Structure 1
Amino acid sequence: MQNTVSTLFSLAATTLLTTTLALPVGAADSPTFMVIDGHNDLPWQYHERFGNRLAPLDVAERQEDMEPPLHTDIPRLREGGVGAQFWSVYIPIESYGGAAGDAARVLQQMDVVRRLVERYPDDLALAMTAADIRSAAAEGKIGSLMGIEGGHAIENSLGTLRSLYAAGARYMTLTHSKGLAWADSATDAPRHDGLTAFGESVVKEMNRLGMLVDLSHVTEATMHDALDTVTAPVIFSHSSARGLNDHPRNVPDSVLKRLPKNGGVVMVTFVPGYISQDRRDWDLARAGEKARLEAMYPYDEAVQEAGLAKWEASHTRPEATLAQVADHIDHIRKLAGIEHIGLGGDFDGISAVVEGLEDVSTYPALFAELKRRGYSDSDCEAIGGENVLRVLKANEEEAQRLQKKRLAEDPPADAIGAE
């Protein structure tokens, strides 16, 4: 299988390069390896900008001049060597009560992905399995997978989880920015010190289905509880290393050290505040100044805005760099190994970008930096996508094993919500 996958990566890279527009300046000297990216929010851009209508935005054409900037279109995906993309089918969790409606909204975002594939059949192919990705690559197409960002989408129901998997979701991030009734979020006050019994049932059912358990956005305790529960490799669809940047969205060293046994992959993200500690510190200081101004002038937004602009003028914003992203890859390699690294740019889900990684065309620049640091071609192939293919295949095989042993889970006796 190793030789087959490597052949497919080479074929995909050749096909991608020979069918693109002119490469960007400097890219001709950058190595291109097939990328399977873990997280891209283009579907939400369609929602926010155009009410989920595709006609106003033709991603077959270059769209880098849009305002606000768009990071993704098909020509730039080709330039970046993207052979498969997990499209985030995101819905916000502004308030959480497990009420009906979240699943329907997720299905609407899944419909956006399906219509994108239908609209651009020469470039995109719907993918549900590792084999589908390989088939798409052999045809010179970009495999399109769907990942749910936030377990609020299942409305506290294993039945809804199963239905969303049947509709095409191939990973689920257990939480988003707020905690759930069954799992704690990294950016909210903890309620359960990890997973509840129902949360463990969710994770077990995801393994039975073959849906990747995504641990981006969850607390360290939730990460450990999930690793104690799963029987298949996990992913972090868009997170970096907390050992280099003490952001709660990053993966702590204690978890990185467990990945070799689990087999999972951290898909390093390009969010500036997760990459640069200086940028993280600046963001926190800015948030503090904003809160101070709002408290001092609660009814005068103009004064608040003027005060914040003055603060920003006297506090230069640090920029995150491509080299710092490579530092995160180095750190994960040191603690977990090359087999446990992937890429999850979070493009079109971020308002600021890393210098040198401004859009989906720039992955070759990152590989060039890794090559300068001594990474081999096989290392870059692993990071680019081979590791994710392995995780997908392992989850598919574990699902086949589990489905022979038991049927779909009934709701636990103390289940949250109703089936």
Structure 2
Amino acid sequence: MQDVMELHRRWCIADGHADSLMWNRDLCERSSEGHVDFPRLREVGMKLQCFTIVTRGFPFIGGFETFALMRGWPRAARASEWSRALWQIERLEEFCRRSEGQVGIVTSGGALEENLAAGRLSAVLGIEGSHALEGRVERVAELHQRGVRFMGLTHLSNNEAGGSSFPLMGNRPLSPLGHAVLEEMARVGMGVDLAHASERTLTDILAHPTARVFSSHTGVRGAGGGWRNLSDEVLRGIARRGGVVGIILAPVYLGGDAIDDVVRHIEHALDVMGEEGVGIGSDYDGMVALPKGIQDVTDLPKLTQVLLRRHPEALVERVLGGNFRRFFRETLGG
């Protein structure tokens, strides 16, 4: 494991998805709660962490307001989906200021490379579901100005923009509003996260000629597992566009609760997409369990160790972060 940690210190370890902001923990302080904070990320050698903003909960609960209240969100932050998004952005900005130069939100490929050279952790901001816009397409540009660099059109339920992959949602396509949001995202250079899109919404997004697509956290259908996993056809479509699929660590989507189940999904995605299309998208702090033996981000080297037994070091480096480094260097902007 000491040798693995040396690799983690040298490599650009990257993760495509963590929902840590919604829990209202102080990410500057090491905690025994949850999966991610700045000290634990730096300890494991993480160089790029995507932090995603959640503004709406499960469709059959509808209790995100209650969740936020229980987690100590201020009243003003809980008032609307837009205010929830802005508050989480402001929280990450505050944490980065307090990190004393150890963590920074990156909004350009050049800044990402500068952070890597300086040993800083790069935070990339994303949004789970365009309902955060509250129907106002012009807010895409405002979010981009605030540092958000990717967004999923839908999350855990259908919304005004399109269809969710959640069961019994009816496999809806993009709506006229969804097409307008997608067009604006392409215009400003915001990446499109396919992780929670229905099959018809996926088809509509992939038909856009210039949208930069990827999936921040998902399993792959060809390796078994849960309902929202991506088909081989979609994997190939993402690969053709230069996108990356972050393989989720949640057993409910893997069809098993062992590290080997994560590896099975990684290897199937590699077979379909090639060596440049696959990364890790853990879904840390996402209200899902992790595989046996992985308690939080500091256990990521256990996955690295298993991959190194089966694959060349150069390939493992790409999966553990090199591919996301390339994708974000190309898509964050100048």
- Per the normalisation by structure 2, the TM-score is 0.86
Does the CA contact (< 8 Å) of 2:182 and 2:211 recur in 1? no
Q: Please give the alpha-carbon distance, in whole angstroms, between the structure 2 residues aligned to 1:350 and 1:181.
A: 24
- Number of residue pairs matched? 313
Does the CA-based 8 Å contact 1:182-1:195 persist in structure 2? yes
Asked if the contact 1:233–1:391 (Cα under 8 Å) also holds between the matched residues in 2, the reply is no
Q: Choose the corresponding residue for 2:39, options 61, 75, 82.
A: 75
SS of residue in 2 equivalent to 1:158: coil
1:169 matches 2:119: no
Select the residue among 171, 189, 192 that pairs with 1:210.
189
In the alignment, which residue of structure 2 is the partner of 1:340? 277
| Deviation at residue 129 of structure 1 after TM alignment | 1.7
Q: Is the 8 A contact 1:43 1:112 kept in 2?
A: yes
Does 1:184 find its partner at 2:163?
yes
Matched, 1:322 2:286: no
- Name the counterpart of 2:309: 372
Residue 87 of structure 1: aligned partner: 51
Letter of the 2:322 partner, please give it: E
Using the alignment, how far apart are the partners of 1:133 and 1:258 within structure 2?
A: 26
Any gaps of 5 or more consecutive residues in structure 1?
1-25, 47-53, 280-319, 401-419
- Match in the other structure for 1:269: 248
Q: Is the 8 A contact 1:148 1:171 kept in 2?
A: yes
Match of 1:103 among 82, 102, 110: 82
In the aligned structure 2, how far is the partner of 1:198 from the partner of 1:74?
Answer: 37
User: How far apart, in 2, do the equivalents of 1:230 and 1:45 lie?
Assistant: 37
- 1:245 matched to 2:209? The reply is no
Conservation of the 8 A alpha-carbon contact between 1:81 and 1:364: no
Compared CA separation, residues 357 and 133, structure 1 to 2 (3 A): farther
Q: Is the 8 A contact 1:234 1:391 kept in 2?
A: no
Give, in whole Å, the separation in 2 of the partners of 1:103 and 1:205: 18
- d(CA) in 1 for partners of 2:327 and 2:288? 30
How far did 1:359 drift? 1.1
Give the CA deviation at 1:201.
2.2
CA distance in 2 between partners of 1:248 and 1:204 (Å): 28
Q: Distance in 1 between matches of 2:306 and 2:221?
A: 21
The match for 2:18 among 40, 44, 52 is 40
Q: 2:330: which partner in 1? A: 394
Checking the alignment, whether the CA contact within 8 Å between 1:40 and 1:86 is kept in structure 2 is yes
Matched residues in 1 for 2:223 and 2:192: separation?
24
Matching residue of 1:409 = none
Structure possessing the higher radius of gyration over alpha carbons: 1
Give 5+ residue unaligned stretches, structure 2. Answer: 64-78
Give the whole-Å Cα distance in 2 for the aligned partners of 1:393 and 1:156: 30
What value does the CA root-mean-square deviation take over the aligned residues?
Answer: 2.2
Structure 1 position 120 matched with structure 2 position 99: yes
Distance (Å, rounded) in 1 between the aligned partners of 2:227 and 2:36: 27
The alpha-carbon deviation at position 395 of structure 1 amounts to 3.1
Given that residues 182 and 192 in structure 1 are in contact (C-alpha distance below 8 angstroms), is that contact kept between their aligned partners in structure 2?
no
Q: Contact between 2:130 and 2:161, CA under 8 Å: does it hold in 1? A: no
Question: Which residue matches 1:414?
Answer: none
